[in-house]
Copies of this chain bind each other. A is one copy, B any other.
Amino acid sequence: MVSTTFDVYDTTLRDGAQQEGMNLSVADKLAIAPLLDELGVGFIEGGWPGAIPKDTEFFKRAGKELDLKHAQLAAFGATRKAGSRVHDDVQVRALLDSEAPVVTLVAKHDIRHVERALRTTGEENLAMIAESVAFLVGEGRRVIVDAEHFFDGYRYDPDYAVRAVVAGFEAGAECVCLCDTNGGMLPEWVHQIVTAVGDRVDGRLGMHAHNDTGCAVANTLAAVSAGAVHVQGTVNGYGERTGNADLLTVVANLELKEGRRLLADSGLREVTRIAHAISEVTNIAPFARQPYVGASAFAHKAGLHASAIKVDPDLYQHTDPRAVGNDMRMLVSDMAGRASIELKGRELGFDLAGRGELLTRVTNRVKDAEAQGYTYDAADASFELLLREELDGERLAFFRAESWRVIVETAAGDPTDARAEGTVKLHVGGRRVLSTGEGNGPVNALDHALREALLPTYPEVERFELIDFKVRLLDTQHGTDAVTRVLVETMDTGAETTWSTVGVGPNVVEASWEALVDAIVYGLLHAGVENRS
Chain A interface (Cβ within 8 Å of chain B)? 18-21, 23, 25, 27-28, 51-52, 54, 110, 112-113, 116-117, 149, 182-184, 186-188, 211-219, 221-222, 225, 237, 239-243, 246, 249-250, 252-253, 257-258, 283, 285, 287-292, 294-302, 304-305, 308, 311-312, 315-319, 331, 333-335, 375, 377-378, 401-418, 420, 439-444, 447, 465-477, 479-482, 484, 489, 505-510, 513-514
Contacts and interface: CB of A to CB of B under 8 A. Distances in A.
B240 A302 contact: yes
Given A225-B188, A241-B299, A444-B481, A409 B412 contact: no
Given A182-B317, A471-B472, 10 more contacts: A25-B475, A184-B257, A212-B318, A237-B289, A403-B415, A418-B506, A420-B507, A440-B507, A441-B510, A468-B473
B480 A514 contact: no
Nearest to A483: B440
Nearest to A507: B441
Contact of A305 (B117, B213, B378, B508): B117
A318 to B, nearest CB: 3
8 shortest interchain CB distances as A-B pairs: A441-B507, A184-B318, A218-B218, A466-B479, A444-B480, A440-B506, A117-B308, A214-B217
Contacts of A149: 315
Contacts of A479: 444, 465-469, 489
A188 B305 CA distance: 29
B242 A477 contact: no
A171 to B, nearest CB: 23
A414 B505 CA distance: 14
Given A257-B213, A402-B413, A408-B405, A283 B240 contact: no
| A interface: dominant SS | mixed
Copies of this chain held together in the complex: 2
15 contacts: A18-B301, A27-B476, A52-B334, A182-B316, A183-B318, A186-B257, A213-B257, A215-B218, A240-B299, A240-B301, A242-B289, A242-B291, A442-B442, A443-B508, A469-B473
A246 B513 CA distance: 37
B377 A21 contact: yes
Contact of A476 (B296, B319, B468, B509): B468
Nearest to A181: B316
B407 A407 contact: yes
A117 B312 contact: yes
A144 B475 CA distance: 32
Contacts of A411: 403
Which of A250, A334, A416 has the most chain B CB atoms closer than 10 A to its own CB?
A416
B509 A482 contact: no
Nearest to A373: B23
A406 B420 CA distance: 9
Contacts of A319: 184, 212
B405 A291 contact: no
A211 B480 contact: no
A214 B253 contact: yes
A413 to B, nearest CB: 6
A474 B221 CA distance: 36
A352 B221 CA distance: 45
Q: Which of A333, A415, A471 has the most CB of B within 10 A?
A: A415
Given A471-B508, A513-B415, A377 B20 contact: yes
Contacts of A331: 20
Contacts of A489: 479
Contacts of A476: 25, 27-28, 285, 467-470
Contacts of A112: 315
Contacts of A215: 215, 217-218, 221, 253
A291 B214 contact: yes
Contacts of A188: 221-222, 225
Contacts of A222: 187-188
Nearest to A191: B188
Nearest to A420: B507
A412 B405 contact: no
Given A467-B477, A473-B470, A509-B442, A410 B403 contact: yes
A413 B403 contact: yes
A369 to B, nearest CB: 12
Nearest to A479: B466
B217 A475 contact: no
Contacts of A510: 408, 410, 416-418, 441
